[in-house]
A and B are shown apart, each in its own frame.
Chain A
């Protein structure tokens, strides 16, 4: 579980909510290449999309999703090699059948063994800007506890009701 020092905004979504966080609060277990920054849009490139920490309520689980859009002044090949090396060192395993590397875009997929965590890295080379744009998602599935497990022990004995019976007697 990651903790953030502060957040910029709470957003409601169709199936949950999300927090917009600062660049500095990006998760440590999915590192970014050196010199990475937020992508800036608009004429002055001053419209930033901040990373998002999102909770999405599904019927059988809650999805916790970290996502962010970043840029780095490295070639697509360099960025692909960086992620493949760095994430493997961090314990992530690649999913070869879902990994695609083309001349101007790439899609890399990783999972963390024995957990429900996976990471998707979507890369695109911007020729005019000479940078690579990275959109990254880290998804963790939190299964719903069973009905019995979800009731705290203190509530199973119904102590308030018992007290009421005793007081009445």
Chain B
């Protein structure tokens, strides 16, 4: 697969295995903290990958210290100096960047081996699935710098993932949530030994890639959209259309034939 990926300064991309991408936040000397440029580059990365045909993407932090430590405190003052409209333009770029990764048409798995705080926490929450090493530490640090947790989707995603009461506690205290607690409250799907984290993430991607591309894509979309839809009826209507459409693809008959013939299916995504 040749993926036309732009040359970025703060993010790196590799296709680790056919169909499985790894996007790394690449400022290890600054705890992979975020800059104005990085938020622009999330958007560039999301746009470059959306039609890539990847089956799954792992998002992680370069180096062995941090996943992503949030906005770089050396640079954060620039946002207080912006005018209102200038700030909103930047903020929309930042949210657009996170959204472009969240809405990729294939699963996104965050592999978290160190601090994921502030905007880094928001990025981790934007993934479909989170795997963590025991050294992972998550926090919604926003209230410590005079902002609110209404940032980059955190108020939406955290409340849905762990429920409103835990989201309130984590958001209002800004305390650190360590790996074991994160696993217990469902903030991460699983904690695995540090040395196994990337391999576990890759394993999960491989398991996903064995399934039909259309089925996985429509599953992801259904989970995301039906979390926002106004009624059960409307959610079922969306589900029904998706299933009906998927019965018209080549992959469903192939799956059934393979099952009968006791062989692995060969999905084409058509």
- Co-complex (A, B): no
Residue positions of A touching B, CB distance < 8 A: none
Residue positions of B touching A, CB distance < 8 A: none
